[in-house]
A and B are shown apart, each in its own frame.
Chain A
Amino acid sequence: MTVGYPILSTLIWLPIIAGVIVLFAGRNNPRLAKWLSLATVIVTFLLSLPLWFAFDRTTAAMQFVEKLDWIPAYNIQYFLGVDGLSMPLVLLTTFTQVLVIASAWEVIKERVEQYMGAFLIMQGLMTGVFVALDAVLFYVFWEALLIPMFIVIGKWGGPRRVYATIKFFLYTFFGSVFMLVSFLYMYYQSGSFSILDFHTLPLGMTAQILIFLAFLIAFAVKIPMFPVHTWLPDAHVEAPTAGSVVLAAIMLKMGGYGFVRFSLPITPDASMQLDWLVIVLSLIAIVYIGFVALVQHDMKKLVAYSSISHMGFVTLGMFVLYDILQNTGTLQGAQLGMEGAMVQMISHGFISGAMFLAIGVLYDRLHTREISAYGGVVNVMPWFGFFAVLFAMGNVGLPGTSGFVGEFMVILSSFKANPWYGILAAFTLIIGAAYTLWMVKRVIFGDIRNEAVAKMEDLNKREFAIMTALAVAVIALGVYPYPLMDVMHASVEHLIQQAFTSKL
């Protein structure tokens, strides 16, 4: 598969270079910084579209591959490529970034060029994470991403931002160093850092278990899974709106992506042996964190906990496949669960991003995220009320929204694995509805609570455009998810086959 330009490199480096230019050119000229950034993200998004249209849906092989020697001494390569698992995530990144840059338009007043530059650089690095096929290259992008995010949360965040950002950085850094040691160990075994070579590298059981656990720490922190989730509510609450959106919509997906790109294919036997661990942690996340979300007073915190709970579905869907085979003897359900998990990732990207943007809209007007400070918003902001309720329904998982598709597929397949998983997972749909709708009731509906709310203005054109784009995405994916599943079908099949091929 080729298009006229090295598409993956362009998607990585165009935003990074533009980000650096914005840092220099935008100094003392915030207007220029904003327009330049917006132009960059739009161009990048348009340039990323050929990924979707020129993608070969019949193969699980890597496409749009680029390969150069980078560090011959260690056989490290600049090796890029996408398959059905990573391509949708790349598009999610380029799409979300357009909204993220647009959302900061009037809100950020201090050091605009640094803010915009940081987000552009982050975009390139996030794309790099999803397309890197060399483990060290992957790690470089994965870690480098921490630097701009650290600055963004710490500089433009809320009152406890410094605590939150250092916690965010150290948690993630701690998680990933063990992954690095695993990479080195596998390099020592195979003489290559290529992820595709790791996929076929035979490994003993002990080695597999240790590598699996190292990966689990790295990815569990990022997703985040119970009990290493505590950085997320802090980081989300303190981050500026766009920071929360990028965190929720894209960065959390990197953890889920890690499981399908690394854990399952590289350590299939250990995954089979330790799948219960992931499943239990996922169920705890789904149920327990759902209850935690119920009692939050802060809207952002509530959505942050709801994110953890929803990401629980992703990890659940990814790891039920072994139980399914054991109980039903077929792999059909496994495919359903895995695809459900992938769809859930994309859908959660849209919905959580939309929720955070909606909260951002309220925050820009009243400068508080306390649920109790609002009430009756729909009376003064009818359009906002419309979108907020729509996204809330997506969060609840109402049929017709994208939230329903992934969760339904995961629950269906987990019933096949073990009815109890299914019952527990389905149970959260009720909790999810409870905390989301209760928030909607208190914030959007009811009587106008106070004068500040009465003075709030409805969405302006910019906000309206952002909300519309997300609403279209949520509904389109909810009504007709087939194209997305079609894209990932071959890759998921291949992944499941890898996950069942013993490496001992």
Chain B
Amino acid sequence: MTFEVPNLAPALPEIVLLTLTSFLLIADTVWSKRCAHCTYWATQITLLVVGWLIVSSFTTQTVVTFDGSFVRDTLADVLKLFIVATSIGIFLFSREYLLQQRSYHGEFFVLGLYGVLGMFVMVSAYNLITLYLGLEIMSLALYAMIAMQRDSQKASEAAMKYFVLGALATGMMLYGMSMLYGATGTLELPKIAQVIASGHADQAVLAFSLVFIVIGLAFKLGAVPFHMWVPDVYHGAPTAMTLYLASAPKIAAFAMLYRLLWDGLQLALPDWQGMLIILSVLSLIVGTVIAVVQTNLKRLLAYSGISHMGFVLMGVAAGDAEGFAAAMFYIIIYAITSVAAFGMIIALARMGHEFDEIEDFKGLNQRNPWLAAMMLFIMFSMAGIPPFIGFWVKLAVIEAAVNAGLLWLAIVAVITAVIGAFYYLRVVKVMYFDTVEESKPAEPITRELGFAVSVVSGLLLILGLFPSWILDLCYRSLGVTVVG
């Protein structure tokens, strides 16, 4: 029996990430007493190293290794870079928040890094087992991170909900995968595609497997009707965790969506397209309508996030590479906007006061006009008003839907966008038009954090004025030729 060493080079970022993270896990226990911030800085350095590794070996080819279970292509590299970038932002905000809340533990960052590793594996997965593995690495890290605030009843409840429903979702997905294996006789995504193309797959089993897989995906994305966990978890979890949940994992979830539905099940398009359209319409409507009555900003962002997922699914439901590119563009920007929005809440939070009620933002323009302007950027970007980047992502997915002949879906989407504008406007209204009696200045926890929030929010405007490069990046990484 011969044992062949697989080509390790394509997985170098993952290998380095795993090694450094495992080292940190041990190191943290040793130095946690003496050097509380070492873990944080080591985490950021790890991410920078990994990011640099990806950039320096950036590929435009598709390389498959580990016996067809791991793929490295442009899409993987681009998504990983965005995951690294958002994670750096997440940890930056989280640290101040945890210090402020006196719940600073080095484990938070180590677990966070494991979560990033899981996302990396999901992004590069080329067979069903690898995909599942990545998903579980990420999810386990997330469960533990939400539960870290042990003495908070709300956080524990959120962790429990997330764990039970998340486990159910992965169960569904695993069941779907097993049926897919039954129908096609292989676990590798490109081979699944081949079998389906050859017509040897059992159609009934295939259809069933698709249902379960799509349900699992919808759970992870938080699409209606599998969205129930989203508001409770977003609301209950410490804001630093909500920030994490709402940003980087969404990018990984998109990768999963793409690998399964496009790399593997492209030919089953007629079967999954209808399901995605239903999920999309329901998410758009339910997310938007329920968000209107929320008074808590985190819950509001949770529901608005559901409707944002409706937009992403609309791009995917267009059922062509251009639609996926639009959805990718959307989800990356959504992740960045989430960092900005939850980062704002974190920056203004104080010990024992979360600053997550809409009322907390009352008169912010009076108390801190600069941060109020930044929050205005975030809200109008989410509402999809130009010149902010949020407009371009909506334009891209709506364009994809119109191109695919789904004009009615595009119209539903724009109507929900108008309804959605209402609750973003309400936040702006509270900040700008309401006045507070005694005007306490609202300062960010630290100057640096205020600066970081400004950078991310300012990015929404700058990207909105020059959206072309990021759009091209999404197009290129999915192999869509750019016209003009």
From residue 376 to 413 of chain B, which have CB atoms closer than 8 A to chain A?
376, 380, 385-387, 391-392, 395, 398-399, 402-403, 407, 410-411
Say yes or no: B421 contacts A178, CB within 8 Å: no
Say yes or no: B432 contacts A180, CB within 8 Å: no
Interface string of A170-181 (1 = CB under 8 A from B): 100110011011
Complex CA–CA separation, A72 to B468 (angstroms):
7
B417, B425, B482 interface centre (most CB from chain A within 10 Å):
B425
Q: A184-B402, A185-B407, A188-B403 are in contact. Are A71 and B418 (CB under 8 A)?
A: no
Q: A143 is contacted by which of B369, B385, B428, B475 (Cβ under 8 Å)?
A: B385
Q: A150-B425, A188-B403 are in contact. Are A72 and B484 (CB under 8 A)?
A: yes
A162, CB-defined interface residue at 8 Å: yes
Complex CA–CA separation, A184 to B402 (angstroms):
7
| Pairs of residues from A and B, 10 with the lowest C-beta to C-beta distance, nearest first | A72-B484, A177-B414, A140-B386, A154-B433, A184-B402, A71-B468, A75-B484, A174-B418, A73-B482, A143-B386
Q: Which residues of B contact A143 (CB under 8 A)?
A: 385-386, 391
Given A144-B386, A151-B432, 4 additional A-B pairs, CB 8 A: A73-B483, A143-B385, A181-B402, A184-B399
Complex CA–CA separation, A316 to B113 (angstroms):
66
A27, CB-defined interface residue at 8 Å: yes
Q: Which residue of B lies closest to A178 (CB)?
A: B414
Q: B410 is contacted by which of A140, A147, A161, A181 (Cβ under 8 Å)?
A: A181
Say yes or no: B467 contacts A71, CB within 8 Å: yes
Size of the chain B interface, CB-CB below 8 angstroms: 37
Complex CA–CA separation, A146 to B376 (angstroms):
13
Q: Which residue of B lies closest to A180 (CB)?
A: B414
Tell me how far the C-beta of A124 lies from the nearest C-beta in chain B, rounded to whole angstroms: 11
Say yes or no: A177 contacts B391, CB within 8 Å: no
Say yes or no: B414 contacts A181, CB within 8 Å: yes
Complex CA–CA separation, A128 to B176 (angstroms):
53
Q: Which residues of B contact A155 (CB under 8 A)?
A: 432-433
Q: Which residue of A lies closest to B474 (CB)?
A: A73
Complex CA–CA separation, A114 to B369 (angstroms):
10
Q: Which residues of A contact B380 (CB under 8 A)?
A: 147
Q: What are 16 sample pairs from A and B whose C-beta atoms fall under 8 A apart?
A: A27-B369, A71-B467, A74-B399, A74-B471, A74-B484, A140-B391, A143-B386, A151-B432, A154-B432, A170-B421, A173-B421, A177-B415, A178-B411, A181-B402, A184-B395, A191-B483
Q: Which residues of A contact B415 (CB under 8 A)?
A: 174, 177
Complex CA–CA separation, A438 to B238 (angstroms):
64
Say yes or no: B475 contacts A73, CB within 8 Å: yes
A187, CB-defined interface residue at 8 Å: yes
Say yes or no: A170 contacts B414, CB within 8 Å: no
Q: A177 is contacted by which of B418, B426, B428 (Cβ under 8 Å)?
A: B418
Say yes or no: A170 contacts B418, CB within 8 Å: yes
Q: B468 is contacted by which of A73, A154, A188, A191 (Cβ under 8 Å)?
A: A73
Complex CA–CA separation, A73 to B433 (angstroms):
39
Q: B385 is contacted by which of A72, A111, A146, A161 (Cβ under 8 Å)?
A: A146
Q: Which residues of B contact A150 (CB under 8 A)?
A: 425, 428
Q: Which residues of B contact A71 (CB under 8 A)?
A: 392, 467-468, 471
Q: A143-B385, A184-B399, A191-B483 are in contact. Are A162 and B433 (CB under 8 A)?
A: yes
A136, CB-defined interface residue at 8 Å: yes
Q: Which residues of A contact B483 (CB under 8 A)?
A: 72-73, 75, 191
B422, CB-defined interface residue at 8 Å: yes
Say yes or no: B417 contacts A177, CB within 8 Å: yes
Q: Which residues of B contact A75 (CB under 8 A)?
A: 483-484
Q: Which residues of B contact A151 (CB under 8 A)?
A: 428, 432
Give the size range of A's interface with the partner: 35 or more
Say yes or no: B429 contacts A154, CB within 8 Å: yes
Q: Which residues of B contact A154 (CB under 8 A)?
A: 429, 432-433
B472, CB-defined interface residue at 8 Å: yes
Complex CA–CA separation, A467 to B124 (angstroms):
69
Q: Which residues of B contact A170 (CB under 8 A)?
A: 418, 421-422, 425
Say yes or no: A144 contacts B369, CB within 8 Å: no
Q: Is the interface of B mostly helix, strand, loop or mixed?
A: helix
Q: A147-B380, A154-B429, A155-B432 are in contact. Are A69 and B484 (CB under 8 A)?
A: yes
Q: Which residues of A contact B410 (CB under 8 A)?
A: 181, 184
A480, CB-defined interface residue at 8 Å: no
Interface string of A157-176 (1 = CB under 8 A from B): 00001100110011001100
Q: Which residues of B contact A187 (CB under 8 A)?
A: 399
Say yes or no: A73 contacts B472, CB within 8 Å: yes
A387, CB-defined interface residue at 8 Å: no
A386, CB-defined interface residue at 8 Å: no
Q: A140 is contacted by which of B369, B387, B482 (Cβ under 8 Å)?
A: B387
Tell me how far the C-beta of B461 lies from the nearest C-beta in chain A, rounded to whole angstroms: 11
Q: Which residues of B contact A111 (CB under 8 A)?
A: 365
Say yes or no: A169 contacts B425, CB within 8 Å: yes
Q: Which residues of A contact B472 (CB under 8 A)?
A: 72-73
Q: A166 is contacted by which of B365, B422, B471 (Cβ under 8 Å)?
A: B422
Interface string of A188-219 (1 = CB under 8 A from B): 10010000000000000000000000000000
A383, CB-defined interface residue at 8 Å: no
A291, CB-defined interface residue at 8 Å: no
Complex CA–CA separation, A177 to B471 (angstroms):
22
Q: Which residues of B contact A139 (CB under 8 A)?
A: 386
Interface string of A69-94 (1 = CB under 8 A from B): 11111110000000000000000000
Complex CA–CA separation, A98 to B396 (angstroms):
38
Q: Which residue of B lies closest to A113 (CB)?
A: B369
Tell me how far the C-beta of A206 lies from the nearest C-beta in chain B, rounded to whole angstroms: 12
Q: A188 is contacted by which of B402, B432, B471, B484 (Cβ under 8 Å)?
A: B402
Complex CA–CA separation, A26 to B380 (angstroms):
24
Tell me how far the C-beta of B211 lies from the nearest C-beta in chain A, rounded to whole angstroms: 31
Tell me how far the C-beta of B310 lies from the nearest C-beta in chain A, rounded to whole angstroms: 16
Q: A144-B387, A173-B421 are in contact. Are A70 and B402 (CB under 8 A)?
A: no
Q: Which residues of A contact B391 (CB under 8 A)?
A: 140, 143
A114, A166, A184 interface centre (most CB from chain B within 10 Å):
A184
Tell me how far the C-beta of B396 lies from the nearest C-beta in chain A, rounded to whole angstroms: 8
Q: Which residue of A lies closest to B410 (CB)?
A: A181
Complex CA–CA separation, A306 to B394 (angstroms):
38
Q: A72-B472, A178-B414 are in contact. Are A136 and B402 (CB under 8 A)?
A: no
A71, A72, A136, A169 interface centre (most CB from chain B within 10 Å):
A71
Q: A114-B369, A146-B385 are in contact. Are A180 and B398 (CB under 8 A)?
A: yes
Q: Which residues of A contact B468 (CB under 8 A)?
A: 70-73
Q: Which residues of A contact B387 (CB under 8 A)?
A: 140, 144
Tell me how far the C-beta of A144 lies from the nearest C-beta in chain B, rounded to whole angstroms: 5
Interface string of A457-492 (1 = CB under 8 A from B): 000000000000000000000000000000000000
Q: Which residues of A contact B425 (CB under 8 A)?
A: 150, 166, 169-170
Q: A72-B468, A75-B484, A161-B433 are in contact. Are A185 and B417 (CB under 8 A)?
A: no
Tell me how far the C-beta of A222 lies from the nearest C-beta in chain B, rounded to whole angstroms: 15
From residue 345 to 399 of chain B, which have CB atoms closer than 8 A to chain A?
365, 369, 376, 380, 385-387, 391-392, 395, 398-399
Q: Which residues of B contact A147 (CB under 8 A)?
A: 376, 380, 385
Q: Which residue of A lies closest to B418 (CB)?
A: A174
Tell me how far the C-beta of B327 lies from the nearest C-beta in chain A, rounded to whole angstroms: 15
Interface string of A132-147 (1 = CB under 8 A from B): 0000100110011011
Complex CA–CA separation, A147 to B421 (angstroms):
12
Q: Which residue of B lies closest to A154 (CB)?
A: B433
Tell me how far the C-beta of A74 lies from the nearest C-beta in chain B, rounded to whole angstroms: 7
Complex CA–CA separation, A437 to B292 (angstroms):
46
Say yes or no: B385 contacts A184, CB within 8 Å: no
Tell me how far the C-beta of B451 lies from the nearest C-beta in chain A, rounded to whole angstroms: 16
Complex CA–CA separation, A501 to B369 (angstroms):
53
Q: Which residues of A contact B385 (CB under 8 A)?
A: 143-144, 146-147, 173
From residue 58 to 73 of chain A, which have CB atoms closer than 8 A to chain B?
69-73
Tell me how far the C-beta of A33 lies from the nearest C-beta in chain B, rounded to whole angstroms: 13
